[in-house]
Amino acid sequence: CVKVFISKIIRRKKQMSEFSYLSQKILDSPTLGDPYDHIQIDNFLNDDHLSKVLNNSQVHFSEIASHEELIQTLLDKKYEIISFPGCKVDINEYLARLHSGVWTYKDGVPIDSFGITFRLTDYQDTFLKSLITYLNGDEFHNSIKKRFNIEENTEIISAVQKNLTKYQISPHPDVSTKSMTYLININKDESVSEYGVHTHMLKFKPEYDYIYGVWEKGDLEREWVPWDWCDTVKTHSPNNSLIMFKPSHKTLHAVNLDYPHLKFQRTQIYGNLNYPDRPKKEYRPNKYKDLDKK
């Protein structure tokens, strides 16, 4: 019996990861209710792990001389341009807009600029690769589902991402096929906060809060809405801080970047859970004005 007991302990230790404490933090985190239910965990990575992330040459590097050089540096470091809300994938158009200062995104969408998002796809450092592998693995995935009582089938994606300047997405609650949104700030240091690169968590102004009821009915997909319909309640700014929430008709969040991305880049570990088996609802692009009773 003693041998069996010891064998079980040894197997359990082998199964545990050096990152298991991250899953435990998710499970132990209290729910914050303003402006909607979410969790925030400051000092998410321990000091040793954070240092390894921030000092990784794929994550952060020295100031760059030009926009063209920045793009090439990111490509050389194995980042890829991805299709992302509030962004385009055409490098030449993006560079032309940066040089001209003239911005348009899409007719009728309540934003006035666009960015480019780069996702790291080839993790060359053993530690960073292990961390991202863990954040895409079963233990972390299941801790999120358990913490938020999610029983439906879900898929997880976690990755290091950089959003370049002019990236903008107006207040939105996320689409109904998304099960969970989470963000971990891993910027160079706290000084980036002065440039307003962080995620806003918002609520509708009183004259627009009837829209919650429209979205709660769930007949159509939830849309982007103008900034001036909302008030920012909280800005998620601390470095090494995680926010996580289960999208609903209330989970308004937004980003509006205009910062010197040659000095540094807005950098996060971006993650979400999706419902792969849910049918998509009808999405009516550029119809946000129909929500406005005024």
What is the C-alpha separation between 240 and 183, in angstroms, rounded? Answer: 10
Instruction: Give tens-digit pLDDT for 25-74.
Output: 999 999 999 999 999 999 999 999 999 999 999 999 999 999 999 999 99
- Tokens matching residue 285: 């692009």
Q: What is the pLDDT of residue 14?
A: 44
Q: What is the pLDDT of residue 2?
A: 55
- CB-facing half-sphere around the CA of 244: CA atoms within 13 A: 29
Lowest mean pLDDT among 45-49, 87-91, 230-234, 251-255: 87-91
- Tell me the DSSP string of 36-98: SSBEEESS-S-HHHHHHHHT-TTT-----S-HHHHHHHHHHTTEEEE--TTB---HHHHHHHH
Q: What is the pLDDT of residue 218?
A: 81
**In what helix (H) or strand (E) does residue 145 lie, and over which residues does it extend?**
helix 138-147
**In what helix (H) or strand (E) does residue 28 lie, and over which residues does it extend?**
helix 20-28
Q: State the average pLDDT for the chain.
A: 92
Whether the Cβ atoms of residue 265 and residue 162 lie closer than 8 Å to each other: yes
Q: Is the confidence at residue 236, as pLDDT, over 80?
A: yes
Q: What confidence category does residue 266 fall into, taking pLDDT thresholds of 50, 70 and 90?
A: very high
What is the C-alpha separation between 64 and 70, in angstroms, rounded? Answer: 6
Instruction: Give tens-digit pLDDT for 159-201.
Output: 999 999 999 999 999 999 999 999 999 999 988 999 999 999 9
Q: What is the pLDDT of residue 4?
A: 54
DSSP 212: H
Q: What confidence category does residue 9 fall into, taking pLDDT thresholds of 50, 70 and 90?
A: very low
Q: What confidence category does residue 109 fall into, taking pLDDT thresholds of 50, 70 and 90?
A: confident
Q: What is the pLDDT of residue 25?
A: 98
Q: What confidence category does residue 15 fall into, taking pLDDT thresholds of 50, 70 and 90?
A: low
Q: Is the confidence at residue 105, as pLDDT, over 80?
A: no
Q: What confidence category does residue 131 fall into, taking pLDDT thresholds of 50, 70 and 90?
A: very high
